[in-house]
Structure 1
Amino acid sequence: MKATDLFVRCLENEGVEYIFGIPGEENTDLMDSLIDSDIQFIDVFHEQAAAFMADVYGRLTGKTGVCLATLGPGATNLMTGIGDAYLDYSPVVAITGQAGLERVHKESHQHVNIVGMFEEITKWSQQIKVAHTIPEIIRKAFKTAQLDKPGAVHVELPEDIAMTDTGGEPLPVSSIPISQPDESEVKRAVELIKRAERPIILAGNGVIRDNAATELKKFAEKVNIPVANTFMAKGVLPSDHPLTLYTVGMQEQDYVLCGFDTADLIITVGYDFVEYLPKYWNDEAMHKIVHLDTLPAEVDAYYPTEAELVGDVKESLNELSERIQQKELWPKVKELKTQLEEKLHASDEESGSPVKPQRILADLKKAEKGEAIVISDVGAHKLWVARMYQPDKPNHTIISNGWASMGIAIPGAVAAKLSNPEKPVVAVTGDGGFMMNAAELVTAKRLGLAFVVIIFHDSKFGLIEWKQLKEFDRTNGIEFTDPDFMEFAKSVGAKGIKVEHSDELLPALDEALASEEIVLVDVDVDYSENMKLTEQLGDYICKL
């Protein structure tokens, strides 16, 4: 058979449903082989969007997302989204074409060392040099993408290898081994938790990756330990759970850090440094730490571990749950939770024009009723989503907080709707991030998808304005001109709803979520709240 026929058979063997990408001359043979496959190729308008789609698909399903580009500029366009999958720990395989091997040793049209470039942002980057190695390389690529902390992998298929004749069969797909924590470390952790008077759990993205939210809830409830989560671990406890302390991650002294200041033991579960460095919550390196994750703890002066339970997060939590009896909840937790709820809901009902970001997110929570998958883009609104928006289910709020790339929301919504067609999907984005991949609304329309886009509209790069004002009390290079979003929506076959006053917002969101088409809800946002929050957190005093 032709090499690309074997390549496609190997992808089918891995259970690939979709390939997101843009075809090119150097992968023409692969595109031809896909015609006879059940794998759906989804054309996009920019390779960056294809990688974002594969990334969000991987995070939501736990299966490996796949994206494709040609050589040169097509391959480099993938790199932003692949970087996102790498630092957000999402299983993705990126496939790129390449010039024929007979010309890669010399100066040649569109040829650069793509394998070398991808080595910096993937777990493994490999060129296929002979066709009969395709089954091994594809099996290794998918296994590597899923192992330990998952992440991105890159496979390059040169055009002359793609068209050669070869033989072979896909290799059997083996299950990922489940590792157990070391018994001596479990015993040490049990003793530390038993002795602790004021323990607190910091839940990270690894709880979502290992599908361990149920086990975390069981452990927290049995032992009576409060739980704070990172941006990417939202929903590990329901928003109304008595033990949740909501979200940490603001680099100012947010109120939830009262709990960390007072704690005598921190239990990190699936915690990734890439989201929120220990120095922000353990700045004097005074807290004892019990570490639960699939990999050993990163070496960091602010992260002194007393016990490391390295293995499957579910298994580690189950071990602790079986060995520790219920403890008394330390009394100050209820007081802290009351303080947090007062701060988080203080502006939920504030009326006016333009609309406060807190009000936008409060109304979104009311409208979506805890069922929607919410994809946040990156910008000032992301910090408000992270701090204020509290979902009721795990893996229902997708935030890029490792790579933290603008432009992820619209491609992410496409992937979310494809992987969860029965769920309402909401993309929350600033106008800057929206314009980076707005063309993918046409892709969504072509696919017959329906979701809601909420645009925080201020005609600025709001997060950069926030940072500049904080540091220098003046701004530069942050303003731009937006199109008429209502006309833009019409031009791509979507519906547009303009919101200028907070009283218009909830009816607009109810209408949008009830619709069976793509709806843009364009909201004029009051970002004067950004500096007010900075001042508020700057004056933070722990009252426990």
Structure 2
Amino acid sequence: MKASDLFVKCLEAEGVERIYGVPGEENADFMKSLEASSIEFILTRHEQGAAFMASVYGRLTGKVGVCLGTLGPGATNLITGVADGNMDRAPLLVITGQGALTRQHKESHQVMNVVEMYRPVTKWNCAVNHPDNIPEIVHKAIKLAVTEKPGACHIELAEDVAAMDTDAVVLRLSRVRRPVPDDMIIDEVWDRLRSAKSPLIIAGNGAIRTRASRELRALCDATGIGALMTFMAKGALDLDDPQCLFTVGMGQRDFPQLAIDAADLVLTVGYDPVEYGPAKWNEKCDLDIIHMDFDPAESDIHYQPIVEVIGDLAHGLGALNKRIQRDGTPQYDLTAQKKLRQKMMDEFKQYADDETKGSIRPQKAIADARAVLGAHDILLSGVGAHKMWVARHFQSHEPNTCLISNGFCSMGMPLPGAIAAKHADPSAKVLAILGDGDIMMNVQEMETASRLGSDITLLVWEDKAYGLIAWKQEQDFGSHTDLSFNNPDWAQLCNAMGWHHQACDASVDLQDCLKTALDHEGPAMVVIPIDYRENMELTKRLGSIDQTF
């Protein structure tokens, strides 16, 4: 068969259901092969949007998300979204076209070394130089993409290779069972937990895997030990669980640090330093840390575990739970953790019932977003000042119901990500919170959403500036450079793109506006004037935190 037909059959055999992308001339054979396949192709308006869609699809489903671009500018356009997905640990496959092998050795139109360019932002990448290699390459790429820690893999398919004939056959689908921690190391962890006086858990991105979250909840429930969650670990514990200590990860010292300071042992579960570096929470390098994860700990002077438990995270937590059932629950002093939970619950209530007109406080916008979403609905956050408020104030009932880009931390994910989130879970309501800077990064995907009839809602926080940069400059220098810009007429933009639009400038009306938008069939946008004076007010309050609550 033709090589491109074989490539597509390999993808089908691996369970690929959907590909997002923008094709070019060099993908022509591949695209014709897709026409006769079971795989749906989603045409996007920019390759970056395609990469974000594939990344979010992968994060939510645990299956590999696939995006496609052509050579040269198509490949460079993809790369920011690919880097973001890779560092957010999304299982992601990137397919790019390339000029024929007969012209790759010389200066040639649009030809560049894409494989080398992608190497720093992928787990593995490879160019197909012979059609018979396709089954092995596709199988390896997807196998590595979904293996812990998940990430991006890249395959380059040159135009002449795609058109060649081959007798190669599809490889059998295989999934690797992860190794499990040794019983002896679990015994050591249990001994240390039993002898601790005030242990604390920090849950990271790895803890939101379904089985890991279930076992973590059982551990916290049995022992009473509280868990802080990083931005990407939201929902590892239900926000209503007494042991849920909410979110850690603000750049500035925040109340959760007081609970960390009070701990004599910190158990990290699926912790990923790309989110929240250990220097932020273990500045003095004096904490006793137990590291539980799929991979060994990063070498960091501020993160030197006394024990490392490497292997399947759910199995390791389950083994601990069996020892708790066997030996009973130790007695701990968790006073600081209880105070933290109450303190943060008080923080969440601040301005939740605000009725200000003319602008809306971030706390109110977050409270209303939480109020209109169910336990299994999905919220996505972009990058900007709004991200810090979502991270600190929006809490989740279930894993993978709040997606924040917090590894590579790129702007532009929420709009395309919302489209993919609806594909991943059609039964969920999907709400994206994003700034007016963030939405304009991939505003062209409004057309994609309209064309697909995507039932998604965007809540745009408008301040007509890059608010997070202004906030940080204000903290560091007492003032900020000119970071202001103008915005389109949102109503006219929505009308042109076939979207439902609502403007809301009164806090008392926001919840109803959100309900109307979420109930609307198809894409909808709610725009609010955000009161970012609250940014520096929060900075001042956190700056006065001492050693107690």
Q: Same fold (TM over 0.5)?
A: yes
- Report if aligned partners of 1:48, 1:79 keep a CA contact under 8 Å in 2: yes
How far off its partner does 1:335 sit? 2.3
Q: Which amino acid aligns with 2:349?
A: H
Number of the residue aligned with 2:106:
106
How far off its partner does 1:422 sit? 0.9
Question: Following the alignment from structure 1 to structure 2, what is the Cα–Cα distance between the partners of residues 166 and 516?
Answer: 46
Question: Following the alignment from structure 1 to structure 2, what is the Cα–Cα distance between the partners of residues 360 and 392?
Answer: 18
Number of the residue aligned with 1:401:
406
Matches within 5 A, 1:7-406: 7-209=7-209, 211-324=211-324, 325-332=328-335, 333-352=337-356, 353-406=358-411
Question: Following the alignment from structure 2 to structure 1, what is the Cα–Cα distance between the partners of residues 98 and 333?
Answer: 60
Question: Following the alignment from structure 2 to structure 1, what is the Cα–Cα distance between the partners of residues 142 and 510?
Answer: 44
Which of 420, 441, 444 is the equivalent residue of 2:425?
Answer: 420
Q: Does 1:488 align with 2:493?
A: yes
Question: Following the alignment from structure 1 to structure 2, what is the Cα–Cα distance between the partners of residues 457 and 328?
Answer: 49
Q: Which amino acid aligns with 1:313?
A: L
Q: Which amino acid aligns with 1:542?
A: Q
Q: Which amino acid aligns with 2:85?
A: A
Number of the residue aligned with 1:535:
540
Question: Following the alignment from structure 2 to structure 1, what is the Cα–Cα distance between the partners of residues 543 and 58?
Answer: 38
Q: Which amino acid aligns with 2:350?
A: A
- Report if aligned partners of 2:418, 2:456 keep a CA contact under 8 Å in 1: yes
Deviates more, 1:371-380 or 1:69-78: 371-380
How far off its partner does 1:146 sit? 1.1
Q: 1:210 to 1:144 in 2, by over 3 A?
A: farther
Aligned-partner SS, 2:121: coil
Deviates more, 1:267-276 or 1:497-506: 497-506
Question: Following the alignment from structure 1 to structure 2, what is the Cα–Cα distance between the partners of residues 19 and 211?
Answer: 27
C-alpha offsets along residues 83-113 of structure 1, whole Å, 9 cap, x if unaligned? 0111111100000000111111111110110
Question: Following the alignment from structure 2 to structure 1, what is the Cα–Cα distance between the partners of residues 179 and 342?
Answer: 39
Question: Following the alignment from structure 1 to structure 2, what is the Cα–Cα distance between the partners of residues 362 and 257?
Answer: 23
Consecutive unaligned residues in structure 2, runs of 5 or more: none
- Report if aligned partners of 2:354, 2:508 keep a CA contact under 8 Å in 1: no
Question: Following the alignment from structure 1 to structure 2, what is the Cα–Cα distance between the partners of residues 48 and 209?
Answer: 26
How far off its partner does 1:475 sit? 2.1
Q: Does 1:521 align with 2:522?
A: no
- Report if aligned partners of 1:210, 1:313 keep a CA contact under 8 Å in 2: no
Q: Which amino acid aligns with 2:340?
A: L
Number of the residue aligned with 1:444:
449
How far off its partner does 1:35 sit? 0.7
Q: Which amino acid aligns with 2:542?
A: L
- Report if aligned partners of 1:368, 1:513 keep a CA contact under 8 Å in 2: no
Q: Which amino acid aligns with 1:505?
A: L
Aligned-partner SS, 2:528: strand
Number of the residue aligned with 1:510:
515
Question: Following the alignment from structure 1 to structure 2, what is the Cα–Cα distance between the partners of residues 389 and 441?
Answer: 25
Q: Which amino acid aligns with 2:52?
A: F
Consecutive unaligned residues in structure 1, runs of 5 or more: none
How far off its partner does 1:383 sit? 0.4
Matches within 5 A, 1:441-480: 441-480=446-485
- Report if aligned partners of 2:30, 2:162 keep a CA contact under 8 Å in 1: yes
How far off its partner does 1:543 sit? 1.8
C-alpha offsets along residues 157-193 of structure 1, whole Å, 9 cap, x if unaligned? 0111010111121101111222111233212211110
C-alpha offsets along residues 327-360 of structure 1, whole Å, 9 cap, x if unaligned? 3352413222222211232221222131000100
How far off its partner does 1:25 sit? 0.5
How far off its partner does 1:367 sit? 1.2
* Number of positions where the alignment pairs a residue of Structure 1 with one of Structure 2: 544
Question: Following the alignment from structure 2 to structure 1, what is the Cα–Cα distance between the partners of residues 202 and 340?
Answer: 16
Q: Which amino acid aligns with 2:224?
A: N
Number of the residue aligned with 1:2:
2
Q: Which amino acid aligns with 2:376?
A: E
How far off its partner does 1:434 sit? 0.5
Deviates more, 1:286-295 or 1:464-473: 464-473
Runs of 4+ in 1 over 3 A off after TM superposition: none
- Report if aligned partners of 2:210, 2:399 keep a CA contact under 8 Å in 1: no
C-alpha offsets along residues 372-428 of structure 1, whole Å, 9 cap, x if unaligned? 200111110000000000111111000010011100000100000011111100011
Q: Does 1:432 align with 2:409?
A: no
Q: 1:169 to 1:210 in 2, by over 3 A?
A: farther
Aligned-partner SS, 1:117: helix
- Report if aligned partners of 2:89, 2:150 keep a CA contact under 8 Å in 1: yes
Q: Which amino acid aligns with 1:138?
A: V
How far off its partner does 1:451 sit? 1.0
Q: Which amino acid aligns with 1:56?
A: V
Aligned-partner SS, 2:102: helix
- Report if aligned partners of 2:453, 2:523 keep a CA contact under 8 Å in 1: no
How far off its partner does 1:477 sit? 3.9
C-alpha offsets along residues 202-260 of structure 1, whole Å, 9 cap, x if unaligned? 00000124641111000111122101100000011111111111000002111111110
Aligned-partner SS, 1:127: strand
Question: Following the alignment from structure 2 to structure 1, what is the Cα–Cα distance between the partners of residues 394 and 331?
Answer: 29
Question: Following the alignment from structure 2 to structure 1, what is the Cα–Cα distance between the partners of residues 374 and 93?
Answer: 34
Aligned-partner SS, 1:148: coil
Aligned-partner SS, 1:45: coil
- Report if aligned partners of 1:86, 1:152 keep a CA contact under 8 Å in 2: yes
- Report if aligned partners of 1:210, 1:312 keep a CA contact under 8 Å in 2: no
Query: Structure 2-normalised TM-score?
Result: 0.98
C-alpha offsets along residues 469-503 of structure 1, whole Å, 9 cap, x if unaligned? 11122222411100011111111111101011111
Question: Following the alignment from structure 2 to structure 1, what is the Cα–Cα distance between the partners of residues 496 and 213?
Answer: 42
Q: Does 1:411 align with 2:396?
A: no
- Report if aligned partners of 1:410, 1:438 keep a CA contact under 8 Å in 2: yes
Question: Following the alignment from structure 2 to structure 1, what is the Cα–Cα distance between the partners of residues 318 and 27?
Answer: 47
Question: Following the alignment from structure 1 to structure 2, what is the Cα–Cα distance between the partners of residues 286 and 461?
Answer: 37
C-alpha offsets along residues 5-54 of structure 1, whole Å, 9 cap, x if unaligned? 00000010011111000010111000011110110110001000000000
Question: Following the alignment from structure 1 to structure 2, what is the Cα–Cα distance between the partners of residues 298 and 183?
Answer: 23
Question: Following the alignment from structure 1 to structure 2, what is the Cα–Cα distance between the partners of residues 76 and 329?
Answer: 53
- Report if aligned partners of 2:437, 2:464 keep a CA contact under 8 Å in 1: yes
C-alpha offsets along residues 418-460 of structure 1, whole Å, 9 cap, x if unaligned? 1111110001100111011111121111112111100001111
How far off its partner does 1:542 sit? 3.2
